[in-house]
Chain A
Amino acid sequence: MAFDFNSLLAFIIFGVTIGVVYGIVALGISLIYSGLDIVHFAHGEMYMFGAFFGLVLAHNVGVPYPVALVGAMILTALLGMAVERVFYRRLTRAGGGYTVAGMGMIICGFGMSVALVNAAYFFFGAEAEPFRANLDYIPRLTFPGDINVPESYVLTAIISVLLMAGLHYFLRHTKTGLAVRAVAHNKDIAYLMGVNVPLMISLIFGLACGLAAAAGVLIGPMQSVQVEMGYLMLMKAFAAAVVGGFGSLPGAIVGGIMVGIFENLGAAYISASHKDIYAFLLLILVLMFKPSGLFGVEAKVKA
């Protein structure tokens, strides 16, 4: 294939858009990790449930796409909070990721993932469903060199930026956000400041799952929605989180974008049928040369 600058640009633009979606899911994983010291292995299923909630709201209930997006985020946040409250809290209360209970937590996450997949088969069926969304009011973007960016990609970019900005504002400029950061750093001190720690943990979980749901609804119109979609997303979001530096929120976004670009370029110039490998290739490269990730935060030291 002759080198064509325009198509390279196009691959990068599409890579970035899909990458921010990975980034949003990775953001949730990082949020939960920094808040609870646990790696949440059922996060891909939250993304999948989010996509299905959006689908049901848009097709069966018939609400407009943006409403379906918000609705799916809220429903998934509630689902995530319920799962945390009922299943995870017992384990996290016994200690975080560095204890024996932390190991139990990982296994519990896997179990939850399997349980949620099967619940989804029961409720939504095994067929891949196309997510038809009417996005005519979103402008198509045309870049120089005849690069056309479809509406769903434009919308994805806009919503992702809005979500990230919203999360940033919440964490940096609100009192509750300050409390969330306090809990993420040290739960005991947060308690002594009068922060209702269990409530904040619920909130962290809800936020993270809401973000995953947004990613699901955004991906919906690009790919179809199916029960098994969570697994690969989880893996790629993990890759994104590790590439950016586990636990770092800006790192999650940058990592996601890098995974997106890398994947698209690999698919374009090496082999399209091995598209899903490139994310992990990048992951391995980063782990070899900068194991703490690009925005690596130092390991938290427990007193």
Chain B
Amino acid sequence: MLEVKDVHAGYGNLKILRGINMNVPTGGIVTLLGGNGTGKSTLLKAISGLIPLMQGDVFFNGVNISNMKPHQRMRLGLVQVTQAKEAYPAMTVEENLVLGAYTRRDREGTKADLEKVYEFFPVLRERRKQLSGTLSGGEVQMLVIGRGLMAAPKMLMLDEPSAALAPKVVLEIFANINRIAKSGVTILVVEQNVRMALILAQYGYIIRDGVIMMQGEADNLISDPAVKDSFLGGSVADTSKALRN
């Protein structure tokens, strides 16, 4: 569904990504892993069009979207869920969600999707008239994911959905991402929480210093000694069980 070919990008003269190749197949969950300052968010911005490419191409469903503006890419169904801190705090929960459906013209479908989001995240229904600035961290994360879903995406890109959240909340969010994927939305999730992300995803890319350092099936990566040493410690069995039940 998404193909990233030899992408170089950065800010001004500063090049951060140096030749990224990536492939996200339709219907799957792919994760992009890496620590702070490795280029994860830069790659997301390059894919969604917030920063221009210096070199290389991005294809979405076979269409070269390298020169499209962000809102045009979004209209193709390539939707980026922003980091949780980037909800609109001065708007109510429902206004945020309606804004997610900004490009849609089908009222009935939008209404149905709003209901669907409220079913995914019942707490948002309770808080729908509240300003989103008053929500807790986990609730805001649910809100930005819900806002992404309102756009009726073909593919959803999530930017660190586990950031700054309690483990129990992370589990809930990830279980919901799993449900969203099952409903037919392709997912690319950028994470620092390597363990959770590899349990959730089928395929993983590890980025360091602007290049893909390692890639492979999630099951292989999780048992890979190099990954284990640098990112993981301890058993994954418990988390796995909790996530899948």
In the bound complex, do residue B48 and residue A193 qualify as a contact, i.e. CB atoms below 8 Å apart?
no
Inter-chain contacts of B214 with A (CB < 8 A): none
Partner of A181, one of B71, B91, B103: B91
Segment of B54-62, B94-102, B225-233 engaged in the interface with chain A: B94-102
Residue of A nearest to B151 (CB): A194
Segment of A46-54, A132-140, A184-192 engaged in the interface with chain B: A184-192
Partner of A192, one of B70, B90, B98: B70
Inter-chain contacts of B70 with A (CB < 8 A): 188, 191-192
Could you list which residues of chain A lie within 8 angstroms of chain B, going by C-beta atoms? 175, 178-179, 181-182, 185-186, 188-189, 191-197, 303
Residue of B nearest to A188 (CB): B50
Partner of B99, one of A179, A188, A196: A179
In the bound complex, do residue A193 and residue B86 qualify as a contact, i.e. CB atoms below 8 Å apart?
no
Inter-chain contacts of B102 with A (CB < 8 A): 175, 178-179, 182, 193-195
Inter-chain contacts of B74 with A (CB < 8 A): 191-194
Bound form: Cα–Cα A197–B70 in Å: 9
Partner of A193, one of B50, B85, B90, B100: B100
Segment of B24-32, B75-83, B116-124, B197-205 engaged in the interface with chain A: B75-83
Nearest chain A CB to B103 CB, angstrom units: 4
The interface on chain B, measured as residues whose beta carbon lies within 8 A of the other chain's beta carbons, has a size of 24
Bound form: Cα–Cα A179–B50 in Å: 18
Nearest chain B CB to A6 CB, angstrom units: 43
Nearest chain B CB to A250 CB, angstrom units: 13
B69 in the interface (beta carbon within 8 A)? yes
Residue of B nearest to A178 (CB): B99
Bound form: Cα–Cα A178–B86 in Å: 16
In the bound complex, do residue A185 and residue B71 qualify as a contact, i.e. CB atoms below 8 Å apart?
no
Bound form: Cα–Cα A196–B98 in Å: 16
B40 in the interface (beta carbon within 8 A)? no
B88 in the interface (beta carbon within 8 A)? yes
In the bound complex, do residue B86 and residue A189 qualify as a contact, i.e. CB atoms below 8 Å apart?
yes
In the bound complex, do residue B71 and residue A178 qualify as a contact, i.e. CB atoms below 8 Å apart?
no
Bound form: Cα–Cα A179–B99 in Å: 7
- 18 A-B residue contacts at CB 8 Å? A175-B98, A178-B91, A178-B98, A178-B102, A181-B88, A181-B90, A181-B91, A185-B90, A189-B86, A192-B48, A192-B70, A193-B71, A193-B102, A193-B151, A194-B71, A196-B71, A197-B71, A303-B85
B8 in the interface (beta carbon within 8 A)? no
Residue of A nearest to B85 (CB): A303
Bound form: Cα–Cα A225–B72 in Å: 45
Inter-chain contacts of A181 with B (CB < 8 A): 88, 90-91
Given A186-B88, A193-B74, 20 more contacts at CB 8 Å? A175-B98, A178-B91, A178-B99, A182-B88, A182-B102, A185-B90, A188-B50, A189-B82, A189-B86, A189-B88, A191-B69, A191-B71, A192-B48, A192-B50, A193-B71, A193-B100, A194-B75, A195-B71, A196-B71, A303-B85
Bound form: Cα–Cα A151–B102 in Å: 43
Given that A191-B50, A192-B80, A194-B151 are contacting pairs, would A186 and B86 also be in contact in the complex, using a CB cutoff of 8 Å? yes
B195 in the interface (beta carbon within 8 A)? no
In the bound complex, do residue A303 and residue B86 qualify as a contact, i.e. CB atoms below 8 Å apart?
yes
Q: Which 6 pairs, one residue from A and one from B, show the smallest C-beta to C-beta distance?
A: A194-B103, A191-B70, A194-B74, A194-B71, A192-B80, A193-B102
Inter-chain contacts of B91 with A (CB < 8 A): 178, 181-182
Residue of B nearest to A192 (CB): B80
In the bound complex, do residue B147 and residue A193 qualify as a contact, i.e. CB atoms below 8 Å apart?
yes
In the bound complex, do residue A193 and residue B99 qualify as a contact, i.e. CB atoms below 8 Å apart?
yes
Nearest chain B CB to A30 CB, angstrom units: 15
Bound form: Cα–Cα A191–B91 in Å: 17
Bound form: Cα–Cα A182–B71 in Å: 13
Highest count of chain B CB atoms <10 Å: which of A178, A181, A191, A194: A194
Inter-chain contacts of B98 with A (CB < 8 A): 175, 178
Bound form: Cα–Cα A196–B49 in Å: 13
Residue of B nearest to A196 (CB): B71
Given that A193-B151, A195-B71, A197-B71 are contacting pairs, would A185 and B103 also be in contact in the complex, using a CB cutoff of 8 Å? no
Bound form: Cα–Cα A13–B90 in Å: 34
In the bound complex, do residue A192 and residue B69 qualify as a contact, i.e. CB atoms below 8 Å apart?
no
Residue of A nearest to B50 (CB): A188
Inter-chain contacts of B50 with A (CB < 8 A): 188, 191-192
